[in-house]
Amino acid sequence: MLSSAVRAGAIAAGISAIGLRPQVSDRGDYVQIETKVPPSASADVWQPLLALLETADTFGLVSSARRGLVATALVRKGVPAPRHGAAATPSGPSETGDHPDGHSLSTRS
């Protein structure tokens, strides 16, 4: 199983590879990877971006007037990735989807 650092790095590298700019932050029990998604993003951007987000423990999309559309992936530290189909229970945001900045996230199951 891949470590959280390797998983977060792979997500960030994949985001860069599709032409977006990832921002990686240490959030205590997890690593947060965010990127702004331009309104003009095509399916050639969306398809690989969504595939990358799905590899995280928790992910979401938030749209606001201040920041635009932001995709967020959270990877728990010190915990191997859950097997496909296993419920993810992030130790940072709650399972109800609370983002550290007050936004809503989807929990992968």
Domain of residue 99: give its range.
4-107
Residue 20 above 90 pLDDT? Answer: yes
- pLDDT range class, residue 79, cuts 50, 70, 90: low
Which is more confident, 83 or 3? Answer: 3
Calculate what percentage of the chain has a pLDDT beyond 90. Answer: 66
More confident residue, 3 or 48: 48
What pLDDT is stored for residue 105 in this prediction?
A: 52
pLDDT confidence band for 86 (50 / 70 / 90): very low
Report the pLDDT averaged over residues 20-45.
96
Q: How many CB atoms lie within 10 A of CB 50?
A: 12
Number of domains making up the chain: 1
pTM of this prediction? Answer: 0.72
